[in-house]
A = this chain, B = another copy of it.
Amino acid sequence: MENIRGIVPRKIKGFRDIDPNLNQIKWNIINAASKVYKLYGFEHWDTPVIEYADNLGKYLPDTDTIEEGVYSFRNPEKEPVLKSDGKELRDEWDRVIMENHFLSLRYDLTAPLARHYAEKLWMNSLKGNLTTKNAPLFRRYQFGQVYRYETKLDPGRFREFWQLDFDSVGTGNVAADAEVCMVLSDAMEAIGLKRNTYIVKVNNRKLLKGLLQNVGIDTEEQEQAVLRIIDKTDKIGIEGLMEELGKGRTDVSGAFIEGLNLENNKINSIISFLKEFRETEKRDIIIERLYKYLHSSVIGKEGVDELSKINDVLNQLKFAEDRVIFEPTLVRGMSYYTGPVFEVESKQTYIDTKGNERRVGSICGGGRFDDLVERLIGIKVPATGASIGVDRLAELLVLTKQVETEITGPVFIVVFDDKLMPEYQKIAGELRANDIETEIYYGSQKGLKKQLSYADKRNSPFAIIIGEDEIKKGVATVKDLRLGKQQTDIHDREEWKAKVQTEVHRNNLVHHIKNNL
């Protein structure tokens, strides 16, 4: 079949090119947040984009199988099969058994973090020298692309996107969880979100575990099923939630969604909890109420204790309810979270192309994942952290008009006369020496109009036009392209032209551009 098709230049579905405007917003986010991460003592590490599939495991947010959702392929290189002690597997003739292992494009930055940490301690763990108590502290931040092979791709979602993570591995200290809230809040504000336009939400999985145990739901499987439904409350409402916990419901498309068929009293207990904690309240009051609700559950009480300690640290550093709130109904998708969970929600809305007001919603997520390293080295190593969705946040800034969405291009030097190239080069050199971005036109379309239209597309602030006339007079014609764009109502053509187009003395050219930028 291959030879029938000519080569059609195209991107893979769900992938995109990033333009200079979006890149500027994206790298501002990455640089601003990275600075905050460093301020709290996190180090910048990187890991490869591809990893052994078995190392990443199956911790995808929306699915439990590695086959779905992940780009995986066979390694072209044959390698020895390793036994669980890291030694090579051999056949009866003592030959090393070789295999093409599966490789995967990373689907997040947390699984590679667990691999990195586990790899460093692997020999120690084999020797039995590693314990939860002496597991070293490792605090890193990382940014980079991650990949999801989603078969149903919603509009505006991509299969390649950027995350910006920070994590502390080797700490069970709740103060580290409190720190996650502070880092997230500081990072949002460093990125440029105004106070009260976003909120950091905190919950603890242990609360929900306690609640469900009290209700009589105690298998891991049923618990996860109930949590997945609670996680959808914002979308399906309390009504839909009741139906999905019970006999099921028919969604807008007419499809029937199977319910969990829980008994009514169980459903009612869950609903009453959700209703009680639906409204935002002071953290102190929520803690008080949670203690009343969960006093009979050991795990539930542990969860409230942890929230209470987080509250102490937040109060100490004056992170009030305008920055961080407790939301006992918050779940967060990831099944690997074991304690506190975090989410940053944007409170802002925007008007979509159909004129509807829409919420931006969740822009960061995180939580405590005490089991992730254990999978690889058999020792529980507590860890906590969070991740900023760079693309989602960039989109938010654009949609809510909080950033300049068109960056300024270079000062543009028109090539009016090829013989004058040395003069153009000299001017460009002078401007660049003054840190002014400058481009000389090297394209094939020589007309003045075509050149200016190119400069306009680049969003250049000024065009410098020099021909023989200007050379003789010792001047340059400087066209203000920004002004040229603005002017719509032209009363006096001459007056307008005089404003847009100025004759500047050659010796004063750099100075003029510099002062008017």
Contact = CB atoms under 8 A, between A and B. Distances in A.
Interface in A1-31: 1-2, 4-13, 15-20, 23-24, 27
A116 B444 contact: no
Given A13-B79, A103-B12, A175 B48 contact: no
B438 A41 contact: yes
A366 to B, nearest CB: 15
Interface stretch (A130-138, A249-257, A267-275): A130-138
Contacts of A422: 312-313, 316
A312 B419 CA distance: 12
B41 A17 contact: no
Interface in A62-97: 71, 73-77, 79, 81-86, 89, 97
Given A136-B454, A438-B40, A442-B179, A75 B4 contact: no
Nearest to A312: B422
Interface stretch (A49-57, A285-293, A461-469): A49-57
B172 A444 contact: yes
Contacts of A6: 82-85
Contact of A317 (B55, B171, B425, B442): B425
A376 interface: yes
A440 interface: yes
A98 B79 CA distance: 33
A52 B12 contact: yes
A284 interface: no
A165 to B, nearest CB: 14
Nearest to A421: B175
A376 B7 CA distance: 6
A296 to B, nearest CB: 28
Interface stretch (A201-209, A214-222, A349-357, A429-437): A429-437
A71 to B, nearest CB: 7
Contacts of A74: 73
Contacts of A136: 443, 445, 454
A76 B68 CA distance: 10
A20 B43 contact: yes
B118 A39 contact: no
A139 B454 CA distance: 11
Contact of A134 (B2, B375, B445): B445
A1 B52 contact: no
Contacts of A297: none
Given A2-B54, A13-B79, A41-B438, 4 more contacts: A17-B116, A20-B44, A73-B74, A136-B445
26 contacts: A5-B82, A5-B89, A6-B84, A8-B122, A9-B55, A10-B119, A11-B51, A18-B47, A27-B44, A38-B410, A39-B438, A41-B440, A48-B160, A49-B160, A50-B105, A73-B73, A133-B445, A137-B443, A137-B454, A170-B443, A171-B442, A171-B444, A173-B442, A176-B442, A312-B422, A317-B426
